[in-house]
Each structure stands twice: as C-alpha cells, then as structure tokens.
C-alpha cells in the first residue's frame, strides 16, 4: 500500500523536497500552500517521480481554509494519513525596535497557529494511518535566539513546545511526533529577507527531506526523538 502523506508548505523549498523524496517511493502526497500555480507544478513533479500528487490550496493561518483543505486532502488519500508534515512557514528579520504587530502576528499565525490548526483537523485521519507520524518543521531558531529574530524565534520555540507536548498526548494512541530542526537551508525563504546570506554554504532542502524519510522509517519501537539535519553524504 502506498504511503499517504500530507505536507503543508509543499510547493517550494523543504516541503517540496520532502514531497519528492516520498514520491520517488510511490507515495500519495497532498501538498498544501496558498499559490496554486506552484502547487500544480509540484504535483506534476510528484507524478513524474512515481508518486501520485494532489494540490490543496490552503492558508494555514486561516482555520476555515485548513478545515476544508485537510478534509479534501484526506479524501484524496483515501481516508487516512500516515505522515503529516507541518512545514509551511514564514521568516522575517526585524529587530525589536522596528517590530510591528503585522510581522509579529504573521509569524505566530503561520508558524505556530498553522501547525495547531492542521494537526487538529488531521488527527482522526492520522489515527487511521499506518505507523502514523507528525513531523513539525521547527528550526535551529527554536533552540537559541538570533538577533532580529524575536517573532520567528518565538513562533518556532512555541512550535517546539507544541510538538513536545503532543508527542506525550499522542504516544498512547500510537502517533509518533517528531520535531525537525533545520539549519540555514537554501530556499526561497531568503529571497525577500534582507541580510548577507551566503546561500552557496547552506544546506540543500534534500538533506531535510532525507532526515524526514529516515525518521518515518525508524525501526518499530525506536525512541521518538528530535531530528537534526545532517549534511547529505
């Protein structure tokens, strides 16, 4: 039976790489994001890689679109989710003295409230899944502070707390919950963020995708742990 995977933020960057990693093994993958043109392009790539893709337009910060989008994704996946990846995210760099409410709220809404909404709506389908797992894509900014990152760090530390707490809630029901801590990774997230980024020295999104693949396929009974992203060998 093909793996049934749902990935928010699956249209670009790390989410897209995860989608293609699982597609290469024949998975059925629902990818969710706001931009439908980019989603459609990834679905074509998923199908070409040997999987079966579905584009699901969704704003993870808007509970109404999450409810509808998860419902349709679960329909596409045949009623169950084996792997949910909460990957949709935004990144703003703004020192506190220049912080505004819109920036703060955007980071909290997308990076923290989003995974909560999606997980809540997907829970029944996960409970029906095979060796179900939730991967919450945090960041090294969930482990330490970075200048100019108050909103981003707060959202990712919040996500880390959410992830560790629901790991305990869901363990008795057999749902594994893991938190992924990527370091700087060469994706479009840096396109609009001012800064002296040397993207040639960053991780490739495929390294994060491989880490998620390994986490899902950990042997039965292996401890569920946080996942760092080692370089690809």
Binding site for ligand NAP (CB under 6 A): 8-9, 11-15, 33-35, 38, 58-61, 87-91, 110, 137, 139, 182, 184-185, 187-189
Residue 47 or 62 having the CB closest to ligand NAP: 62
Residue 89 to residues 8, 14, 26, 81, 165, Cα–Cα distance (Å): 9, 10, 26, 21, 20
> Which tokens is 72 given?
């349709």
DSSP assignment, residue 35? -
Residue 132 or 205 having the CB closest to ligand NAP: 205
DSSP assignment, residue 232? P
Dist. CA 18–CA 13, nearest whole Å: 9
Dist. CA 76–CA 5, nearest whole Å: 10
* Shortest distance (Å) from residue 206 CB to ligand NAP: 12
* Shortest distance (Å) from residue 90 CB to ligand NAP: 5
State yes or no: is 152 an active-site residue.
yes
Q: Which residues are catalytic?
A: 152
């Amino acid at each position: 039976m093909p793996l049934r995977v749902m990935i928010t933020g699956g249209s670009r960057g790390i989410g897209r790489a995860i989608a293609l990693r699982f597609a290469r093994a024949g998975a059925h993958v629902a990818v969710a994001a706001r931009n439908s043109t980019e989603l459609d392009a990834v679905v074509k790539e998923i199908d070409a890689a040997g999987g079966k893709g579905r584009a699901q337009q969704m704003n993870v910060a808007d509970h109404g679109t999450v409810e509808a989008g998860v419902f349709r994704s679960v329909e596409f996946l045949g009623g169950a989710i084996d792997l949910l990846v909460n990957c949709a995210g935004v990144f703003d760099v703004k020192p506190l003295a220049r912080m505004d409410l819109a920036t703060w709220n955007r980071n909290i809404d997308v990076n923290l409230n989003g995974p909560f909404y999606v997980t809540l709506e997907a829970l029944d389908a996960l409970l029906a899944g095979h060796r179900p797992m939730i991967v919450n894509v945090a960041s090294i900014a969930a482990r330490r502070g970075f200048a100019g990152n108050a909103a981003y760090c707060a959202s990712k530390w919040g996500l880390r707390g959410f992830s560790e707490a629901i790991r305990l809630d869901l363990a008795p029901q057999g749902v594994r919950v893991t938190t992924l801590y990527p370091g700087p990774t060469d994706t479009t997230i840096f396109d609009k963020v001012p800064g002296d980024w040397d993207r040639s020295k960053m991780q490739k999104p495929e390294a994060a995708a491989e880490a998620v693949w390994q986490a899902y396929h950990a042997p039965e009974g292996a401890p569920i742990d946080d996942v760092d992203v080692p370089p690809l060998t």
